[in-house]
Amino acid sequence: MSTFNTSSPVPIALPAVVLTGRGTAAVGGPKNFAKSIQEGVRLATLRKPGKDAGRLTKLYPAGTAYLWGATPTDQTGNRKALALATRSAGDRVLFYAEGEIIAQATILDCFDNEDLATEIWGLDAKTGKTWKHIMALTNVDEFDPGLDSGPILIPLIGRRDVRTLERRTAVEFARVAHLLEREADDPAGLLVPTRTDAGHGEVVQTVRTAYSGTRVKRDTKVSARVKEMYSNACQVCGDVMYALDVPRSIGAHIRGLGAPHNGPDHISNILCLCGKCHAEFDWCTFHIARTPTGSLAVFDTLTRARRGDLRVVEGHAIDERYTRYHRDWCLDEAARRKA
């Protein structure tokens, strides 16, 4: 006799979970996290990817890698050794810092590379070891503010802090996984999922032909709010498009949602654009950058000529980490085209 409830659809397979600490400021934790998880590591700038150069390019076709390392352990059979030996692609990773879970991500691949780890993070201030056990991550999803670690960690490891790398099985993770799901309709309209639709522990890699901010289809309250702020007028050209007599616009994600871009669905990452400007933005025909006088402007990617100012209404704070990401991606595209 089956123990599954036959009236329910296919049982949902949750991933296993890997718990890691971000590290305190004293050991450079916030700096490392900003560099290799929030900003991402530009592959083109790496001097020593060594044997993993090809692997990284394949994992991150857009040229920015999300990496996190762990120092080796001298013991065998302890929790960390076990986690290092068993973690694998598809596992969820939770980042712990100062009483909170601050981010989650999905493992794409694991590999050891001492030179690469030294180049990115230097040496561990306490032990002098390198973070050579590297996890290549995707679907990075930050919690801001962080989530109270107790309800999530205590059922998993019996403590509210992460002291060493640990892995728990999918069955164990199932007890707390729901605490990491975001509300689809956050009342503040600020936080909604940034994960792709890969779900269920699968890792979906997409092959890109153009920069698409809307590869993951999602018409959320967040983008509706941005469109409303501009009454559907394009932030680039000022036009309002009409479907018969209904004004229409597109809430365009600056840093695309979904792999490999993994941008957030947040107003700071969304522009209100008309259909034409949206297509040109996705195709990298133009990008957004800050001018020396401090305003955000529209630049032609090929000629770098300034087309005009980006219209920004009060209350729409655009995060320049995302415009920089899109600009870098576009300039890379232009360079590849020329090569």
Q: What is the binding site for Zn ion (CB under 5 A)?
A: 234, 236-237, 239, 274, 277
Least spacing, CB of residue 328 vs Zn ion, in Å: 23
Burial letters 176-185, b for 16+ CB under 10 A, else e: bbeebeeeee
- Is the separation of the CB atoms in 230 and 182 below 8 Å? no
Q: Which 8-state DSSP code applies to residue 51? A: G
Least spacing, CB of residue 216 vs Zn ion, in Å: 22
Least spacing, CB of residue 234 vs Zn ion, in Å: 3
Give the tokens for residue 261. Answer: 């871009």
Number of neighbouring beta carbons within 10 Å of residue 254: 25
Smaller CB distance to Zn ion: residue 137 or 277? 277
Lookup result for tokens 């969820």: 92
Smaller CB distance to Zn ion: residue 136 or 234? 234
Smaller CB distance to Zn ion: residue 151 or 275? 275
Smaller CB distance to Zn ion: residue 129 or 311? 311
R_g (Cα) of the chain, nearest Å: 21
- 252-to-17, 139, 217, 312 alpha-carbon distances in Å: 32, 19, 11, 14
Nearest 5°: CA angle at 143, between 168 and 215? 95
Least spacing, CB of residue 211 vs Zn ion, in Å: 17
243 backbone dihedrals φ, ψ, rounded to 5°: -100, 105
Least spacing, CB of residue 286 vs Zn ion, in Å: 10
Number of neighbouring beta carbons within 10 Å of residue 225: 17
Least spacing, CB of residue 278 vs Zn ion, in Å: 8
Give the tokens for residue 92. Answer: 């969820």
Strand (E) positions, 116-189? Answer: 133-148, 166-168
Count the residues in the chain: 339
- 38-to-8, 33, 59, 138, 170 alpha-carbon distances in Å: 38, 6, 17, 11, 26
Least spacing, CB of residue 24 vs Zn ion, in Å: 46
Peptide bond into 264 cis (omega under 30): no
Smaller CB distance to Zn ion: residue 102 or 270? 270
Peptide bond into 49 cis (omega under 30): no
Give the tokens for residue 36. Answer: 């290799």
Smaller CB distance to Zn ion: residue 225 or 307? 307
Smaller CB distance to Zn ion: residue 103 or 277? 277
Least spacing, CB of residue 280 vs Zn ion, in Å: 8
Smaller CB distance to Zn ion: residue 17 or 250? 250
